[in-house]
Structure 1
Amino acid sequence: MGHAEAAAPAIQVELVWSPCAGDVRRLELRVAEGATIEQALRACPEFADQLPRLGTMKIGVWGRLMPLSTALRERDRIEIYRSLTVDPKESRRLRFRKSPERVASRHRPLGGKIGL
């Protein structure tokens, strides 16, 4: 058996995280087929400074929270979620206080509601 045949097939996954507001990082990773989220994160040197907090992080794949033991598939996107610093409802209230005019939703046009 040749060297190329002995190596486990690799898959490509993406890692996305935001260490702080306004700073979004994205990496393409090659991991062994069948690797878990935890194995992929531990093999990523750019993520090494975050490893001590690995057990307390919220981590997902394509927007769904997943355990570290989740096996990855080709083209999966691993997402590391930061804790919210402001309650979304409070943030909306603060924005409204700064600019109290009504903001039209792109999902519900105002046409039928105000007689336009």
Structure 2
Amino acid sequence: MAEAPALAPLRVVVCVSLQPGQTQEWALQLPPGATVAQALAAAGLRPPDLALLAFGIWGCSAQPGDALRDGDRVEGCRTLTVDPKVARRQRFASQGARAAGLFAQRRSGAKQGY
């Protein structure tokens, strides 16, 4: 009787941003059927660090129990503190309408909007 071939380990990358402007990345080999939580544990991340992060696989939201496939990239991102639309409006208001926006660098004497 032939033996079943051994399954190859999963090659997974875990990338986490714990602080602004800082990323950490680990290339891991995990057993077949590994989950997001197992990948994070193998990377050495502690539960207090994990509580601040939202996780995804290749940019799509993921839960700790989701199974991984070979070549997956597990990403841990900090949650947004400000809505990007609100932040843009505040920046625009503080810069003034003439100094910001698409037509700020228009030629002298040009029509409005060109």
TM-score in terms of structure 2 length: 0.70
**Contact 2:52-2:79 within 8 A present in 1 as well:** no
* CA deviation string 1:11-47 (max 9, x = no partner): 11111111111112222111112101111111222x2
* Deviations 1:53-104 (CA, angstroms, capped at 9, x unpaired): 5467421101111111111111101011211122212210232122632237
Gaps of 5+ in 1: 105-113
C-alpha RMSD over aligned residues: 2.4
Q: 1:28 aligned to 2:27?
A: yes
Q: CA deviation at 1:52?
A: 3.7
Partner of 2:106 in structure 1? none
User: Normalized against structure 1, the TM-score is what?
Assistant: 0.69
Q: What aligned pairs does 1:17-56 form with structure 2 within 5 A after superposition?
A: 17-45=16-44, 47=45, 50-52=46-48, 54=50
Q: Percent identity?
A: 35
Change (3 A) 1:21 1:103: farther
Which one has a larger percent helix, Structure 1 or Structure 2?
1
Residue number in structure 1 paired with 2:79:
83
Q: How far, CA to CA, are the matches of 2:48 and 2:80 in structure 1?
A: 20
Structure 2 distance, partners of 1:27, 1:103, is 40
Judging changes above 3 Å, is the alpha-carbon distance between structure 1 residues 77 and 90 closer, same or farther for their aligned structure 2 residues?
same
How many residues end up aligned between the 2 structures? 98
Give ranges in structure 2 of 5+ residues lacking alignment. Answer: 104-112
